[in-house]
Amino acid sequence: MIIFGASGDLTKRKLMPALYTLYKEKRLPEEFVVLGIGRTAYADDAYREHILKEMDRFITPKERVEGTMMEFISHLCYLTIDPAKAEGYGLLDQRLQELTGEKKSDNLLFYLATPPSLYGVIPLHLKGAGLNRQHTRIIVEKPFGYNLESAQELNKVYASVFEERQVYRIDHFLGKETAQNILAFRFANGIFEPLWNRNYIDYVEITAVENLGIEQRGGFYDGAGALRDMVQNHLIQLVALTAMEPPAAFNADSFRNEVVKVYESLAPLTEEDLNEHIVRGQYTASSTKKGYREEANVAPDSRTETYIAMKIGINNWRWSGVPFYIRTGKQMPTKVTEIVVHFRETPHQMFRSKGGAGKEANRLILRLQPNEGMVLKFGMKVPGPGFDIKQVMMDFSYSELGGLPTGDAYARLIEDCIQGDPTLFTRSDAMEASWRFFDPVLRYWKEHAEAPLYGYPVGTWGPLESEAMMHEHGAEWTNPCKNLTNTDQYCEL
């Protein structure tokens, strides 16, 4: 495995812990070698020492198996070259011959943990050095392009170097056990799938928010924003898992065909949608935390969104007329990723809700993180006289399985790639279909400088306008904790 960007944050924070997990569980080939590539100068021993030190930060003592860490570290090597320059790839080929003992080893996995600007450069240099061999595979991180045109250009580059079966566009959300369990929940249980349509579901909301800012990623994030960073890949994947038809068989082609069908069924965004059904925001300072524009490497007049909420529709027989509300944001009150399915109310209300709160329909909450699991909310009679109804919860949590680990998303996806299983990776046509839907949003913001960007204080649930967007459907966001105080601090930026 050759990791480009081996001295970077992603490698030490995610890739090395994932590889260690695979190693200690004996899920890697015995003679594997990881060759790190980067511009930072390291000898092999110095790189091993660097990674060993970083592992103390990202691997807890409980996750270690005695004696395995030093064994794992011994499989690491390093080569100092500039991935942007073609002349270093001859040295890479030479080093691979030394490590494998073969002149043209074909058992290679490249991982691009680099800035996106190198995604289109590295494959061409690999081709120039003859390293794009028949069974070689390559994993590419997000974002795969910045808009439809750039994604199409990248796909052309990869098609000129590799076959589609060799390209693995990674989205770590699909490596999460809880994301995969959405499929098992839907298609392995006969009691839910008959209800999974417009006749019984009123609306769906999908939330992926976190209580952190951009941390040290100002340079990257100010050129990307929430739509590129989260919506075009992570959230739309969750929409697909929720809305897709049952695959004919659970294999890579059938599963990914159904994902593409969802993307191609997304209702095209009209000018009214761009104005009324999309709310973007940017977090502003609180008494204790800085605002987005005060973050390092962020322009003082930045118009980059750190929050986005959208109403989208799916034009097919199953979902016609059912709105999907999606949102993501930084500096929220908590970190949570969940899907909430709101079922339609009963056609006739015979009973009163406890406390006179009004009607409450059934809800199914699929929680991806934290507290992974699911909750079904339904009405039950309150003990005592009368027929007052109160919502109760039937819940399941992975933590109740006796501490059974939910698994590391990167470990799962890297292992799938090693085994040649692309099921949970994004195919080129899906990537382009997703960008085709979101491209008008980016173009509209670029062409209309006056398009609203709303400020929201750190620690709140985003702009109040996102709440108003839901009200036209008689809906509201499911917030684990309501925090919409200090409304005078909300503003248009």
Q: Token digits for 238?
A: 């969750």
Handedness of CA 279, 280, 286, 289 (dihedral sign): positive
CA 130 to chain centre: 33
User: How many residues appear in the chain?
Assistant: 493
Q: Which residue type occupies 359?
A: K
- The two beta strands, 336-343 and 352-353, are unpaired
How far apart CA 294 and CA 214 sit, in angstroms, is 11
* 125 labelled catalytic: no
Q: Token digits for 321?
A: 């007329």
Please state, in angstroms and as integers, the Cα–Cα distance from residue 132 to each residue in 95, 104, 135, following that order. Answer: 16, 10, 8
Burial class (CB in 10 A: 0-12, 13-18, 19+), 124: middle
Q: Token digits for 420?
A: 């040649």
How far apart CA 411 and CA 177 sit, in angstroms, is 11
Contact 333, 211 (CB under 8 A): yes
How far apart CA 287 and CA 492 sit, in angstroms, is 19
Active-site residue, from 50, 125, 172, 234: 234
Ramachandran bin of 101, using left for φ above 0, alpha for ψ from -120 to 50, beta for the remaining angles: left
Q: List for the chain the helix, strand, coil content (%; round to 5).
A: 40, 20, 40
- Most distant CA atoms of the chain, gap in Å: 84
Q: Token digits for 84?
A: 């942007």
Q: Which residue type occupies 469?
A: M
Q: Which residue has the tokens 């919502």?
A: 391
Task: Tell me which residues are annotated as active site.
Answer: 234
